[in-house]
Structure 1
Amino acid sequence: MAKYIGLDLGSKTIGIATSEGYFANPKETIRFEEDNFKQGVDKLFLFLSKEGFEKIAIGYPKNMDGSMGHRVQMVEDFIKIMLETNIVNEEQIIRIDERLTTRMAKQIMVSFDLSRKKQKENKDQVAAKLILETYINSIK
């Protein structure tokens, strides 16, 4: 069965979710120095080398009007570093529109009555789960 990884990239964190079927599971959050994407990629490589994967669905944060902004360039810079370090090839990377995933992740956690601390700790993983489920639903 195929294994998929979902990523929600921030300036200091990478939320990770995994799936081997129809459902994605929040897995972990990688932390790195702000805007040090090389450090983030290095830590992600350790995770990916243990887990194995077929595709990576990465959140692509377009502006609400569909235009590309600073955050999209941040994701492209991160992808470029991943490609340069041979962690992945271009065919394994799937860019997923993530415009409302962080807000949805927060709503989900509020509905489960998680404390603010737990919400902060888990928002990136939950957003990665939503990104990955968007991809999985697109290939069904």
Structure 2
Amino acid sequence: MTGNAPPTPDLRGVTLDDAAVFAALLGPGRLIGIDAGSKTLGLALSDVTRSIASALETIRRTKFRDDAKRLLDLAGEHAVQGFVLGFPANLDGSEGPRAQATRAFARNLNALSALPILLWDERLTTAEAERMLIAADTSRRRRADVIDKLAATLILQGALDRMRRLAP
């Protein structure tokens, strides 16, 4: 034996901002939507037909490796084909510190997983989620518990709707 081991597969994923290119990379299956805040990761899950997004869970952020492990465990459990990551651009379209932190999160996740990531404009989704919860007369404490999952659901649903409009 000469010691020639088979090449290690490249686990690096790709981060995209084009929904059409993202959709073309996907196999059949679910997507996870992510609202990445500084303290939590709000998660949503699509159905297998990628028509409806539903709240999944909120991960309290600790170390990136621990957060990513939980996220990737969920992705494996649900046979997820990709991630839709809320991208917090400023209202004028420029990128501030939160957008840079989101890009870093995507880069770090790409290093651990081959699943593609779509950056999805999330401007005002948390505000929209807050308005929806207030309109539903949700208590302040309950709003704090579910707002990140709801924001992730809005992010994912927006991307699913866009991909459906792009489909032939």
Give 1:88 shift.
Answer: 3.2
Aligned partner of 2:117 among 75, 83, 93: 93
Paired residue secondary structure (2:35): strand
Distance in 2 separating the partners of 1:122 and 1:134: 18
Residue type matched to 2:40 in 1? T
Paired residue secondary structure (1:57): strand
Contact between 1:9 and 1:75, CA under 8 Å: does it hold in 2?
yes
Distance in 2 separating the partners of 1:9 and 1:124: 8
2:40 aligned with 1:13? yes
Match of residue 32 from structure 1? 61
Greater C-alpha Rg:
2
Could you report, residue by residue, the CA deviation over 1:69-94 in whole angstroms, capped at 9, with x for unpaired residues?
10111111111111111x234xx211
Contact between 1:41 and 1:78, CA under 8 Å: does it hold in 2?
no
> Aligned Cα RMSD in Å?
1.3
Could you report, residue by residue, the CA deviation over 1:22-62 in whole angstroms, capped at 9, with x for unpaired residues?
111011001123xx433321221222221221121110000
Contact between 1:4 and 1:53, CA under 8 Å: does it hold in 2?
yes
Match of residue 132 from structure 1? 156
Give 1:126 shift.
Answer: 0.2
Distance in 2 separating the partners of 1:56 and 1:62: 18
Contact between 1:38 and 1:81, CA under 8 Å: does it hold in 2?
no
Residue type matched to 1:99 in 2? R
2:83 aligned with 1:74? no
Paired residue secondary structure (1:42): helix
Distance in 2 separating the partners of 1:39 and 1:62: 26
Between Structure 1 and Structure 2, how many residues are aligned? 135
Alignment TM-score, normalising by the size of structure 2? 0.76
Q: Which runs of 5+ in 1 are unaligned?
A: none
Distance in 1 separating the partners of 2:61 and 2:119: 22
Distance in 2 separating the partners of 1:38 and 1:71: 19
Q: Which runs of 5+ in 2 are unaligned?
A: 1-27
Paired residue secondary structure (1:82): helix
Give 1:132 shift.
Answer: 0.3
Residue type matched to 1:113 in 2? D
Percent identity at matched positions? 33
Match of residue 104 from structure 1? 128
Structure 1 stretches of 4+ with a deviation exceeding 4 A read none
